[in-house]
Structure formats: C-alpha cells, structure tokens
Chain A
C-alpha cells in the first residue's frame, strides 16, 4: 500500500501558467474581458455620481458636466465606453460558447476578431452620435 503515504510527500506536476503559452488572440481577448469587467466595476461610481447629481440639482449637475467636458473626463469616458461595449460583445461571445457553438478553431478566431473590431467601431459611432447630440438643439 504505497498510496497511504501523505499526499504532501509526493511530488506532483504543476500546471503551466500564462507565461508558458504563445500569446494568441483568443487568450488576449479573455484577459481583456476580465480587465474591462474590472474597470467597469469601478466605473459604476460615475453612473451613481451622474444619477445623484441629476437628482440633486443644477449645481451638482454642472460639476459632473464640467468633469465630463474636460479632456481627462472625455478620455475616461471614451475608454469607459469602449470597455462597456467590449465587455458586452465579449459577454455575447461567452453566451454563444455556453450553447456549445462557436468553439472550433476558425470560429473562435473569427468571433474574437469580430469582438475587437466591433467594439472599436461601435464606440466610435456612439461618440460621433453623442457629440452630434451635444452640438444639436437643446
């Protein structure tokens, strides 16, 4: 009964981690999905701030308008828009995978590329629409 030895005494193989593998698009997109989710988490503070500012009155609202109109605010919001759309499309991809579809070598590459290109394209379109809406009649 050699197997009765304590488990710790036996050397067990360690599973390889990220740095072992050659970077691939699907792998990078998986990491991007987690990072965008992480960023969106803290970005909800902006959502709460916006809703409370709108509920509080003109002075509070002008403060968030000042922030969102500043260069740093615009950059944060642009990045946040991309993170949101990227995570949303990535989530769709995961839901497709959950049904067992789209997991083949060609399909998963295509889905990953579509996710990335789609997120950038939709973000740019949303900002063009948004900036046009801001410049339009009030």
Chain B
C-alpha cells in the first residue's frame, strides 16, 4: 500500500464491465430475475399445454390466441429465452477458451435465442390477431 496508485480511477470503476464476457454481474442478476419469473410462467404454460391436448388445431389456436393465454405465453417465451441465452453463455464461457470460437458461439447463441423468441411470439400473435 506504500506505493502511489498509477491512476485515479476507483476500484469499482476498474471492476465494472469485467468478467469473461466483459459484462460484470449484470447477467448473474438477470439469470435470477428470469429464474423467478420462469417458475409461475412454466407452471402456467404446462397447464395450458395439458388443456390443449387432444384438441384439434382450430380449438388449440382459439385458446392460444385468447388474450390471457396469449399474454401468459408471450411472457413465458420472453422469460425462458432470456434465461436460456444467459445460461448457454455461461456454458460457452466455461468450456470454450479459444477467443474466436468463443465469440462466434456467443453470437450464434444470441441469434438462436432471438430467433426462437420471435418465431414463437409471431405464432402466438398470429393466433391472437387471427390473420
């Protein structure tokens, strides 16, 4: 502690934005927030799925497109795709150490999660708006 610091930035400022993905603890917290949201939303989605078993397409689309069910399914899709994107990012950061491969996979991870989220949301909204 006797030597003079070489810069005047605070320790917090130096820590900010770090970690394997250079994003700090933001993901840790988002993982918890979406984990909590996933619990009731998954239970609701499983309940909706069981309700639809054995019904034909017209009946399934009508139920999935009804406002309450559609909103629950949209929240479910948003929460799980956010959660799984962070989860897969952690797996990639843990096992892939080559920088170029790592960033390629991290990018592919984002593309996959956004594609699944938007495709699912499109399906739900299409049923809901009846076009």
What residues make up the interface of A, taking CB atoms closer than 8 Å to B? 34, 37-38, 40-41, 44-45, 47-48, 51-55, 57-58, 60-62, 84, 88, 91-92, 94-95, 98, 126, 129-130, 133-136, 138
Contact = CB atoms under 8 A, between A and B. Distances in A.
Interface size class of B (residues with CB under 8 A): 35 or more
B57 A61 contact: yes
Interface stretch (B2-10, B12-20, B32-40, B98-106): B32-40
Given A37-B87, A91-B39, A48 B120 contact: yes
B46 interface: yes
A63 to B, nearest CB: 11
Q: Taking chain B's interface residues, is the majority helix, strand, or loop, or is none over half, making it mixed?
A: helix
Given A34-B91, A51-B73, A130-B50, 11 more contacts: A51-B64, A53-B123, A54-B61, A55-B123, A84-B42, A88-B39, A94-B35, A95-B35, A130-B53, A136-B54, A138-B59
A89 to B, nearest CB: 10
A1 B91 CA distance: 41
A129 B55 CA distance: 15
B84 interface: yes
11 contacts: A37-B91, A41-B84, A52-B122, A53-B123, A55-B64, A61-B56, A84-B42, A95-B35, A95-B36, A134-B53, A138-B59
B36 A129 contact: no
B127 A54 contact: yes
A57 B57 contact: yes
Nearest to A92: B39
Q: Taking chain A's interface residues, is the majority helix, strand, or loop, or is none over half, making it mixed?
A: helix
Given A88-B38, A126-B46, A130-B50, A61 B60 contact: yes
- Determine which residue in A38, A51, A53, A135 has the highest number of CB atoms from chain B within 10 A of its CB, and name it: A51
A44 B80 contact: yes
A44 B124 CA distance: 14
A27 B118 CA distance: 36
A54 B91 contact: no
B53 A133 contact: yes
